[in-house]
């Protein structure tokens, strides 16, 4: 059997690409469907979740993503090979409507085989955490930032494009079966492994109309998705989070970031609290000693932790419904090495005394501080359904950066 195509038959390389792609697609699609259903249960804060549930879901998603990336590269190689080859002619080219439909579906399939895994990969790279791709080349993509907006956008596109892929596959398979069972021609047989005698296709002309038609279908799918709200922001928790009111403070925070980093499935996931206040009283002493106080209030529901934000707000973790705020009331000390904030940190209904070391740069009536502290989530009864570090590490790295000005 020839390795290259002819006008009447497909070569062995094209056949290999075709059936390898089919195998990968029909493995990835059911895996993704099962894993997605399992993830809905895992991320539902009202459903009790065990470490084994999370680990099983992550394994399925990791396999799904790895196969998806494989589809992307196989599809690119297949397309590059196809553009170097003679395209076998349609055996029913004289049936203009059917030939037009067949070529349109082929263009939709080719686009789907690239766009479905690509949008899935972009979603993975732009989201924080959960289910790594099983390869040694890293989990990020160049020029793709960690972004909740980009993550939701690419997830929506991935979902829409999957339906285009499924529809195109269904039409492609039905067309092949129609040729084989009804028309009884060699369309299907010439794509099967081995040598197949195929008649010479009739003379035919190809136009750009099928490409245009496929493009119109893609535009219609995206427009339809937009019209039904696929691209609207989604939240599974649905809690009304009241914004914290501004507090009186000797030093008023002008800009600041309060972030935390957890370890999920062996990979770091960083998030931030978008709403928090700090009432600061501070006078820099000449000698080490007490220099002021700080009272920090955090709207826990304002956490942005990527794909696990909703899970973090659930009853087994921060339990935002019962404990909407966390507080840190500390005395500020100047030490021989720098500065420290010492006092009780209250998360949920647990209070632990902590020491947060920080650096401080003072310039007239402006101050910039950077501090960090490592916590253990188990000290605050966060994630007690995951009593080991198999899925979620015990350690939580908290960091704060802020710039404040002295009030007159």
Domain assignment of residue 236, yes or no: no
Domain assignment of residue 244, yes or no: no
Average pLDDT, the chain: 91
Q: Nearest CA to 339 among 362, 367, 311, 359?
A: 359
Cα dihedral 79, 157, 224, 31 sign:
positive
Tell me what pLDDT residue 298 has.
97
Tell me what pLDDT residue 333 has.
97
- Per the structure, the complete domain to which residue 199 belongs is given by 12-227
Number of domains in the chain: 2
Same domain, 145 and 265: no
Structure tokens at 248: 């009186």
Q: Are 320 and 239 in contact (CB under 8 A)?
A: yes
| pLDDT confidence tier of residue 40, bands split at 50, 70 and 90 | confident
pLDDT in tens, 63-113: 999 999 999 999 999 999 999 999 999 998 889 999 999 999 999 999 999
Domain assignment of residue 309, yes or no: yes
Q: Flag whether pLDDT at 45 surpasses 80.
A: no
Tell me what pLDDT residue 248 has.
87
Tell me what pLDDT residue 238 has.
46
Same domain, 279 and 150: no
* Residue in the structure block whose two tokens are 């007690």: 384
Domain assignment of residue 134, yes or no: yes
Domain assignment of residue 386, yes or no: yes
Same domain, 38 and 149: yes
Bridge partner list, 328: 296, 345
Tell me what pLDDT residue 46 has.
67
Q: Flag whether pLDDT at 38 surpasses 80.
A: yes
**Residues in CB range of 201: below 8 A, 6 or more apart:** 7, 8, 88, 89, 90, 91, 93
Dihedral angle computed from the Cα positions of residues 338, 343, 348 and 350, in that order, rounded to the nearest 10 degrees: 120
Q: Flag whether pLDDT at 5 surpasses 60.
A: yes
CATH code for position 362: 2.40.128.110
Same domain, 314 and 210: no
Structure tokens at 122: 């972009």
pLDDT in tens, 287-331: 999 999 999 999 999 998 877 888 888 888 999 999 999 999 999
The mean pLDDT value for 152-178 works out to: 96
Tell me what pLDDT residue 273 has.
95
Terminal CA-CA length for the chain: 87
Tell me what pLDDT residue 330 has.
97
Which of 99-108, 118-127, 242-251, 396-405 shows the lowest mean pLDDT across its residues? 242-251
Q: Flag whether pLDDT at 237 surpasses 50.
A: no
Residue 327 CB: number of other CB atoms within 10 A? 14
Domain assignment of residue 241, yes or no: no
The whole-angstrom separation of Cα 107 and Cα 22 is: 16
Q: Is 399 left (phi over 0), alpha (psi -120 to 50) or beta?
A: beta
* Residue in the structure block whose two tokens are 């939701």: 152
| pLDDT confidence tier of residue 240, bands split at 50, 70 and 90 | low
Same domain, 221 and 255: no
Domain assignment of residue 1, yes or no: no
Same domain, 74 and 201: yes
Q: Are 235 and 310 in contact (CB under 8 A)?
A: yes
CATH code for position 130: 1.20.950
| pLDDT confidence tier of residue 265, bands split at 50, 70 and 90 | confident
Bridge partner list, 361: 368
Q: Flag whether pLDDT at 268 surpasses 90.
A: no
| pLDDT confidence tier of residue 53, bands split at 50, 70 and 90 | confident
Same domain, 129 and 56: yes
Same domain, 183 and 332: no
| pLDDT confidence tier of residue 408, bands split at 50, 70 and 90 | low
Tell me what pLDDT residue 309 has.
84
Q: Are 291 and 339 in contact (CB under 8 A)?
A: yes
Q: Flag whether pLDDT at 44 surpasses 60.
A: yes
Same domain, 268 and 380: yes
| pLDDT confidence tier of residue 236, bands split at 50, 70 and 90 | very low
The whole-angstrom separation of Cα 60 and Cα 83 is: 35
Higher pLDDT: 171 or 39? It is: 171
Same domain, 132 and 197: yes
| pLDDT confidence tier of residue 241, bands split at 50, 70 and 90 | low
Q: Flag whether pLDDT at 250 surpasses 80.
A: yes
Domain assignment of residue 390, yes or no: yes
The mean pLDDT value for 200-211 works out to: 89
């Amino acid at each position: 059997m020839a390795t290259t195509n002819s006008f009447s038959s497909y070569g062995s390389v094209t056949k290999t690409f075709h059936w390898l792609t089919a195998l990968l697609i029909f493995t990835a699609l059911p895996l993704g469907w099962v894993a997605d259903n399992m993830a809905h249960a895992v991320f539902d804060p009202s459903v009790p979740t065990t470490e084994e549930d999370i680990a099983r879901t992550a394994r399925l998603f990791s396999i799904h993503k790895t196969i998806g990336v494989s589809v992307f590269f196989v599809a690119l190689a297949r397309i590059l090979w196809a553009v170097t080859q003679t395209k076998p002619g349609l055996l029913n080219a004289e049936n203009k409507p059917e030939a037009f439909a067949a070529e349109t579906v082929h263009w939709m399939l080719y686009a789907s085989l690239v766009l479905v895994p690509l949008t899935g990969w972009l979603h993975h790279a732009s989201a924080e955490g959960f289910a790594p791709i099983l390869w040694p080349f890293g989990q990020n993509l160049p020029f793709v930032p960690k972004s909740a907006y980009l993550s939701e956008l690419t997830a929506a596109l991935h979902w829409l494009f999957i339906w285009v892929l499924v529809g195109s596959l269904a039409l492609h398979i039905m067309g092949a079966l129609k040729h084989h069972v009804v028309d009884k021609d060699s369309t299907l047989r010439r794509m099967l492994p081995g040598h197949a005698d195929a008649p010479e296709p009739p003379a035919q002309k190809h136009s750009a109309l099928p490409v245009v038609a496929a493009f119109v279908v893609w535009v219609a799918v995206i427009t339809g998705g937009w019209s039904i709200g696929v691209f609207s922001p989604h939240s599974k928790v649905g809690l009304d989070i009241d914004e914290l009111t501004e507090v009186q403070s000797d030093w008023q925070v002008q800009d600041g970031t309060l972030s935390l980093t957890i370890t999920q499935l062996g990979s770091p996931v960083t998030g931030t609290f978008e709403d928090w206040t700090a009432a600061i009283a501070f006078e820099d002493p000449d000698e080490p000693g007490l220099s002021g106080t700080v009272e920090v209030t955090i709207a826990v529901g304002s956490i942005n932790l990527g794909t696990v934000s909703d899970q973090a707000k659930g009853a087994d973790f921060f339990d935002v419904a019962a404990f909407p705020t966390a507080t840190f009331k500390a005395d500020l000390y100047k030490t021989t090495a720098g500065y420290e904030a010492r006092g009780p940190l209250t998360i949920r209904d647990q209070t632990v005394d902590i020491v947060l070391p920080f650096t401080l740069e003072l310039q007239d009536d402006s101050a910039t501080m950077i501090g960090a502290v490592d916590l253990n989530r188990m000290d605050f009864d966060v994630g007690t359904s995951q009593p080991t570090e198999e899925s979620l590490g015990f350690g939580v790295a908290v960091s704060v950066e802020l710039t404040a000005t002295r009030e007159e």
